[in-house]
A and B are shown apart, each in its own frame.
Chain A
Amino acid sequence: MPGPILTERVIEAPGRPRLGSSLRELWRERGTVLAFATRSTQLKYKQSILGLGWALAQPLAFVAVFSLTLGRVADIPGTGVDYAAFALSVLVPWTFVNISVSLGAQSIVNDAGLIRKVYFPREATVVGAVLSAVVDLAAGLGLFVVLGPLLGAHVSFWWLLAPVLVLPLALLVSGITLFLAALNAYYRDVRYAVPILVQLWLYASPVAYPLGLIPHRWRGLYLVLNPLAGILDSFRRVLAVGTAPRPTTLLAGVAGSLVIAVLGYWSFKAMEPRIAEVV
């Protein structure tokens, strides 16, 4: 057939995952990723009165609960800001983690019909779910801009850093979600484990309490084991306190997020070839 030079594709027994070429393919197919992200966002509005409002209701509800219980009773030493602002600054990114992991881990199984019939890079549906949650996160940050100062957050130029912090956060969440979504295709046990894991992760992260509550000698280990801690603390410093993030804390969070993103993507690619057979 006359026409443009056709690219040749070789299909062979799957070998080791090659992340470089996988990422290049994902970039070529970014239209598909965006289509999945768009669908995910569209679905949130279907037959729903609040729609995007639910993404805002969740952090607000948690702020109320935390303020009423921990903020008064436990008298956790804050960082010089009111507890409500202290909590909201971290609950906004935490809600993103919660929504992404909970919905994203289901995305491969939910799209089983498509996956059994059509080829696309399988991570597109997972990454699409995470991207759609980024939209919610943006709305949440907007909410903080309006509500934060009223609750006692310090307005500062450091707020501009918050959108940048979304990047390592999204990488971390993508890594975890990719791993869980692929594993869920093989073992439906994951579906029941995810809510428990997310709940544990909430308590293992400085959401309700400040990072300072962790004893000094354990803090390094804590930050390495839970990269989310470093990122959330940076969000809190930037948004609520209005100061620069602690460099080592941020570094631990970003480095850990990168490691988890690579591991998650690698494990996803290793599980991918047989997903259509088992899902």
Chain B
Amino acid sequence: MAPAVRFDKVTKDYLRGGPSQHSLRDEAAQALRRVLVPWRRGHAGSPLTGRRALHQVSFDIEPGESVGLIGPNGSGKTTALKLLARITYPSSGRIVVRGSLGGLIEVGSSIHPELTGRENIWLAGQILGMAKTDVRRRFDEIVDFAELGHVLDTQAKLYSSGMQLRLGFSIAAHVEPNVLVIDEALAVGDAGFQARCVERMGSLVEAGTTLIFVSHDLPAVEAVCNRGIFLLDGELQVDDSTPVAIRSYLDWVDSAHQARLADATAPAPSRYLDLERVECADRDGRDRYVFQTGDDLVVRLRFRATEPIGEPHVNVGISDGRKGMLVLCTLAPSDQGRGDGAGTLDGWFTLQCTLHDLPLLPRVYQLWCSVQAQRGHADLFDWQAVGSFRMEESQEQRRDSRAVTASDGPVFVSHQWGVTRG
């Protein structure tokens, strides 16, 4: 069967930064210059200050598939949708769409504030591609879905913003095109309405609608889409099943985050200690960045001391970015009678701390570190973030729908409930 949507080496350049920088006068002056000074034509035109939004992107989407487009801001997701919807046109390459296409691209725009709800349904319904008979047939459904029956003959400008969004989404959701395109439309209305929207999308997909969904809400993408396309800087990075695409996107997010962190956390220079390298490894000593709940984490800190350090206090902490540490591991001087001290250190040395059975839930965590002198509490190495690692969900966690997420509470402790009555 022919694909529902085909992108064939599609490239899109936006020619200018924006429309506001030029006026008819400039343009006329330029045109005049071109006419009057023809021998300068070669370089008379202003250099293209364009932006490449998409570069040679190709993919096919089969009828009935639901595909999530993911990637950071400015990666070309929305441009891809705009090309599909014929709002802008490609600079080169071609797109083939089979059947009708409808979109929920920021749905509020189709609502006119001066018109009543009823007038808006007729207007927007037809602009979005419904025939008059379709609007008549689905009118009640649209009203019910938006829950606006009581204000149908009130001007939309008197609606709350939530009511306007609900009306817009409801109209768009009842167009029933062959290919449905959704750009971040789910941040609409209250939780109950959002749930109905996801339900509605699900039922459209079940009915055979091809769905293309752009969102930063990765769980929603994972819930609705069976395929993911990861775009980065206008180029197609990964085109695979949704979990694989999401994972490569998250890996990129982490590495970008890490690079930023590395910049931000370049250790403050110390007179006594240079932190040369921070490594995370598993229990077999292999370097790793991604861990699962229950793994061992080995943190290795490579330092160089410019003068001998006697019996330092070393702290290693784990933070989830919020205030305070989740975990703090302290290496105390031996003369305080707790464990083994580090002794006297000089020149190059590596401190290694092994954390057993990490009880952390999936997300990115920061590693913090400080080194203090044995007495006087002088900081040899200030308390600061020095690295990061990521926890990701294990097979069991993925299967267990009740699993809590790190944002609810990042530390997982195995537990058991009991009830005593009377």
Contact = CB atoms under 8 A, between A and B. Distances in A.
Contact of A11 (B24, B25, B94): B94
A12 B127 contact: no
Contact of A276 (B63, B87, B115, B132): B87
B24 A189 contact: yes
Interface stretch (B67-75, B99-107, B389-397): B99-107
B90 A11 contact: yes
A32 B126 contact: yes
Contacts of B128: 118
A42 B120 CA distance: 11
B204 to A, nearest CB: 12
Contact of A189 (B23, B97, B126, B155): B23
Given A11-B90, A276-B82, A31 B103 contact: no
Interface in A31-52: 31-32, 34-36, 38-39, 42-43, 46-47
B94 to A, nearest CB: 5
B19 A32 contact: no
Nearest to B133: A31
A6 B178 contact: yes
A39 B87 contact: no
B208 interface: yes
A13 interface: yes
A42 B119 contact: yes
A11 B109 contact: no
Contact of B95 (A7, A11, A186): A11
Binding site secondary structure of chain B = mixed
A109 to B, nearest CB: 11
Interface string A109-129: 000011111111000000000
Nearest to A6: B99
A6 B3 CA distance: 11
A119 B110 contact: no
B189 interface: no
B110 A114 contact: yes
Interface in A119-171: 119-120
A116 B87 contact: yes
B86 A187 contact: no
Interface in B1-41: 2, 14-15, 19, 23-25, 27
Contacts of B155: 46
For B90, B105, B123, B208, the residue with the greatest tally of chain A CB atoms inside 10 Å of its CB is: B123
A274 interface: yes
B263 to A, nearest CB: 34
For B23, B90, B126, B178, the residue with the greatest tally of chain A CB atoms inside 10 Å of its CB is: B126
A9 interface: yes
Contacts, number: 119
A200 interface: no
Contacts of A118: 85, 87, 103, 105, 109-110, 127-128
A274 B178 CA distance: 26
Given A13-B89, A117-B87, A1 B23 contact: no
Nearest to A47: B114
Contacts of A278: 19
Nearest to B14: A277
For B25, B88, B96, B110, the residue with the greatest tally of chain A CB atoms inside 10 Å of its CB is: B88
B98 A12 contact: no
A8 B123 CA distance: 26
A14 interface: yes
B122 interface: yes
Interface string A7-36: 111111110000000000000000110111
A114 B64 CA distance: 28
Interface in B48-90: 63-64, 82-90
Contacts of B85: 118-119
B92 interface: yes
A211 interface: no
Contacts of B123: 35-36, 38-39
A40 B417 CA distance: 65
Contacts of A212: none
Contact of A187 (B24, B83, B90, B115): B24
A1 B87 contact: no
A11 B86 contact: yes
Nearest to A115: B87
A261 B184 CA distance: 40
A13 B115 contact: no
B152 to A, nearest CB: 15
**3 tightest A-B contacts by CB?**
A6-B99, A35-B126, A278-B19
18 contacts: A1-B208, A11-B90, A13-B92, A14-B89, A31-B132, A32-B127, A35-B122, A36-B123, A39-B112, A46-B115, A46-B155, A114-B110, A114-B127, A118-B87, A119-B85, A119-B87, A273-B88, A277-B88
Interface of B: 2, 14-15, 19, 23-25, 27, 63-64, 82-101, 103, 105-106, 109-110, 112, 114-115, 119, 122-123, 126-128, 131-132, 155, 178, 208
